[in-house]
Structure 1
Amino acid sequence: MTDDNRLGDSAKDFTEAGYAHALTLAQRSYEFATFTSRPSSRHVLWRHDVDFSVHRALRLAVIEAEMGARSTYFMYPHSQFYNLLSDLVIPKARGILELGHELGLHFDPTFYGGKLRGGELLAKIESERNLLTELFGRPPAAISFHLFGVLEEPAPDDDVVAGMVNAYGRTIKSEYTYCSDSNGVWRHSRLFDVLEKAEEDRLHVLTHPEWWTPEAMAPRARLQRCLDGQAAAVGRYYDELVDLHGRPNVR
């Protein structure tokens, strides 16, 4: 683990205790809303793009539920880091929704080469929407786009795409103040400062579960923690499977 003295103040924000503190700050001034139910009163749209770890996502979902907060979890069908079809993963993903949180689709156009436009793009989005609907027994309420910024063409900015509220639609982009923790750092403003000042009536907060760990760590170490945990879980699964069937497990 990284020496705590080497961590900047920003890195020390990203702990489970820090996350709970952020929720507490938000609750002082804002109502937690969803993409499909946005009140006229002061509120925050809190979303998670689940890029790396459903296990971490479930942990944050539990913290939120215990504190009476609600957010939207955007599942990523083409993640290189977890498999939504795995029985090691999907029960945890479903557990997030059972806690009362909302489901979203995190769509990656680069998986298709980044050349899709118009009807072809919409068809792929609908296909992934249908996959999540089958897996979770409900359609995703909203959509966010992964890495669309690396492409020449901008992401669709329609308010609704394939029946899902677009997290980057024109209305949300123009009416909400945005704060993100992408890459494990504060990309725009420090979330805690924004919540303490509470100067904005509408906030759109993007967090990624892998960046919020029990103890303060450098961003790359947080990611490695996820990878090591996933590898260990798969290893345990293999050991248990071999033992279940009475087969040799030569080490």
Structure 2
Amino acid sequence: MDYTYRSYDALLGHIRACGRTICAFRDIGNAESFVVLRHDVDYSVVKAREMAERECHLGVRSTYFLLLTSPYYNLLAADNLRAARDIIGMGHEIGLHYDTDFFSAMDHDAQCRRVVDLARFLAESLGTEVTSIAQHNPSETAVRLCVPEYVDAYGDRFFREIAYVSDSRRLFGTLDLYGFFRTHARSQLLIHPLWWHDSEQSRWQSFTAIRDGIVQDVESRLTRMNASMEADELKLRR
């Protein structure tokens, strides 16, 4: 299976053909057979919106976990706020993606309080309810937080009591992805928008697309700032 949008659309169609309800964390309810669909937005909210649009067109709703501490995007920048609100407007759920590296010096209880603070800030910033959380890169740290106020994507209910599969590192943990969904009546599917494109792209090509987008955005901002400064300079010389 490749990482094209055509293949992604086909995968969602297969999951439905297996009789599984595809849903966001907030929408599971009492479903007996489901795939809770989740996206960790590590690199680009605008790229995530692209995937959200495809899902909306297919009648699929999922959960998009956004970082407030990403080194690659500022969620509070106008373009990213617009993209996040567009995702909400399509009917998708927004959750908090949190990175414990940013508050590793705190004790466990203080870290849990920080997660609550971040989730509330995210909700206020986007004007939406935030009820779900997901830790960033849990395999790279021994820190595990228990924040009972929120649905946790890595809690036992969604990580140990049901099946789980992810495209982390652009590598699914099974050679037969279609068979996985035929076999498991209840599962969580984690998809990173970063990897998926109209045509097949390598891992490095996906990364360079993010890099180029960041560079273009910075250059555009600096160009506008420089033009403004030059205009002020001309006024002083007159």
Q: In the alignment, which of 102, 112, 131 is matched to residue 122 of structure 1?
A: 112
Measured in 2, the distance between the counterparts of 1:88 and 1:96 equals: 13
Q: Is the Cα–Cα contact under 8 Å of residues 25 and 62 in structure 2 kept in the other structure?
A: no
Say yes or no: does 1:15 pair with 2:4. yes
Which shows bigger deviation, 201-210 or 184-193? 184-193
Measured in 2, the distance between the counterparts of 1:185 and 1:44 equals: 19
Deviations 1:32-76 (A, max 9, x none): 222123233311100000001111100000000000011000001
Q: In the alignment, which of 56, 61, 64 is matched to residue 65 of structure 1?
A: 56
Partner SS state of residue 183, structure 2: coil
Measured in 2, the distance between the counterparts of 1:151 and 1:233 equals: 32
Q: In the alignment, which of 34, 51, 67 is matched to residue 43 of structure 1?
A: 34
Say yes or no: does 1:95 pair with 2:79. no
Measured in 2, the distance between the counterparts of 1:95 and 1:242 equals: 31
Q: In the alignment, which of 227, 231, 249 is matched to residue 215 of structure 2?
A: 231
Say yes or no: does 1:32 pair with 2:22. yes
Say yes or no: does 1:131 pair with 2:121. yes
Measured in 1, the distance between the counterparts of 2:137 and 2:222 equals: 34
Where does structure 1 differ by over 3 angstroms across 4 or more consecutive aligned residues? 187-193, 236-248
Specify every segment of 5 or more residues in structure 1 that has no aligned partner in the other structure, as ranges: 1-9
- Cα distance change on mapping 1:245 and 1:19 into 2, 3 Å: farther
Deviations 1:214-240 (A, max 9, x none): 211111211111221232233334445
Shift of 1:140: 1.5
Partner SS state of residue 96, structure 1: helix
- Aligned residue in 1 for 2:99: 108
Structure 1: which amino acid aligns with 2:82? P
Partner SS state of residue 55, structure 1: helix
- Aligned residue in 2 for 1:151: 141
Shift of 1:173: 2.1
Partner SS state of residue 215, structure 2: helix
Shift of 1:88: 2.1
Q: Is the Cα–Cα contact under 8 Å of residues 33 and 186 in structure 2 kept in the other structure?
A: yes
Which shows bigger deviation, 166-175 or 97-106? 166-175
Measured in 2, the distance between the counterparts of 1:47 and 1:98 equals: 17
- Aligned residue in 1 for 2:152: 166
Q: Is the Cα–Cα contact under 8 Å of residues 44 and 210 in structure 2 kept in the other structure?
A: yes
Partner SS state of residue 215, structure 1: coil
Identity %: 27
Partner SS state of residue 213, structure 1: coil
Measured in 1, the distance between the counterparts of 2:66 and 2:37 equals: 14
Q: Is the Cα–Cα contact under 8 Å of residues 132 and 140 in structure 1 kept in the other structure?
A: yes
- Aligned residue in 1 for 2:236: none
Measured in 1, the distance between the counterparts of 2:98 and 2:175 equals: 25
- Cα distance change on mapping 1:189 and 1:73 into 2, 3 Å: farther
Q: Which TM-score applies when normalising by structure 2?
A: 0.87
Q: Is the Cα–Cα contact under 8 Å of residues 176 and 202 in structure 1 kept in the other structure?
A: yes
- Count matched residues: 230
